[in-house]
Amino acid sequence: METRQLGNSDLHITPIGIGAWAIGGGGWNGSMGPQNDSDSVPAIHAALDHGLNWIDTAALYGLGHSEEMVARALKGRVPRPYVFTKCERVWDADGTVGACLKADSIRRECEDSLRRLQTDVIDLYQIHWPEPDEDIEEGWAELARLKQEGKVRHIGVSNFSVAQMQRAQLIAPITSLQPPYAVVRREIEHEILPFCQSQNIGVIVYSPMYAGLLTGAMTRERVANFLAEDWRRNLPGFKEPELSRNLRVVEHLREIGSRHDRTPGEVAIAWTLNHPAVTGAIVGFRSPQQVAGIIGAAEYRLLPSEVAEIEDALKRDVAA
């Protein structure tokens, strides 16, 4: 399978990687609902068996549970994929989530992640959110120290603006940025992607299927029946009038995919990978069956005429 170099690192990653948000399960603020642990390990194994070579998780997902599930899935696995995780989101004994970029907190989080992941080194350690903004320099300087000490191989950021990345660069180079990007969520195209491309900062995008809305399996009925804890209930794209527009986009993707025996989700992922600044896309898998419906995106590429077709369809929808 094709691989791409991630920014200034020596990591060569497959075009899509395994997202471990959903396997964190339910019961925490920001979850995607309950998850059966007995499905998580086979899902990860299925994705790895298809050739994917990286997993993206975070301490936040399931308040540590996702990292533990990743460790369980990788136990004895050869070759071992790259493991990326994140810091800055912290929680108390009651599970209340907060933000901290203080150096001692970052170091403690790193040690906790190393323990949960059952590894001696993290391949890519990322600041999850640039919050609190005034502590970005302190947090980033601590990530740089962790890299110097060999606890992490490379360091990156997530959800940063250009101005925030520029501040971090004054302290240490940034290997990668992790932003949201999808055919229906394109804010990063204006400044962030051109900046990353000019600075050799790798980009691994999350939510390329817009939290599952672009998979082709989402319906108004499913959206209406989301559990109260499902964070997607609050996303603008899952509410009217955007929901109807986005479901029309899915039909455009379905039409293109049908010509190549690809799912709407695979077309949506391929669309993000078409941008020259994007190194890879994070795709969440809850079960081996989901892997089978998405894995083709690792090698499927849109024709230039199909990219133009999607653009025309989007313009028509906006005009309507």
* Residues forming the active site: 61
Q: How far is CA 103 from CA 67, 141, 144, 225, in A?
A: 21, 8, 11, 42
Distance of CA 165 to the CA centre of its chain: 18
Q: How far is CA 168 from the centre of its chain?
A: 21
The amino acid at 92: D
Taking Cα atoms as reference points, which of 6, 3, 12 lies closest to residue 178?
6
**For 229, which DSSP code?**
T
**Which one-letter amino acid corresponds to residue 27?**
G
Tell me the C-alpha distance between 37 and 274, whole Å. Answer: 34
Phi, psi values for residue 19, rounded to 5°:
-90, 130
Q: Is the peptide bond before 81 cis (omega within 30 degrees of 0)?
A: no
Helix (H) or strand (E) holding 22: none
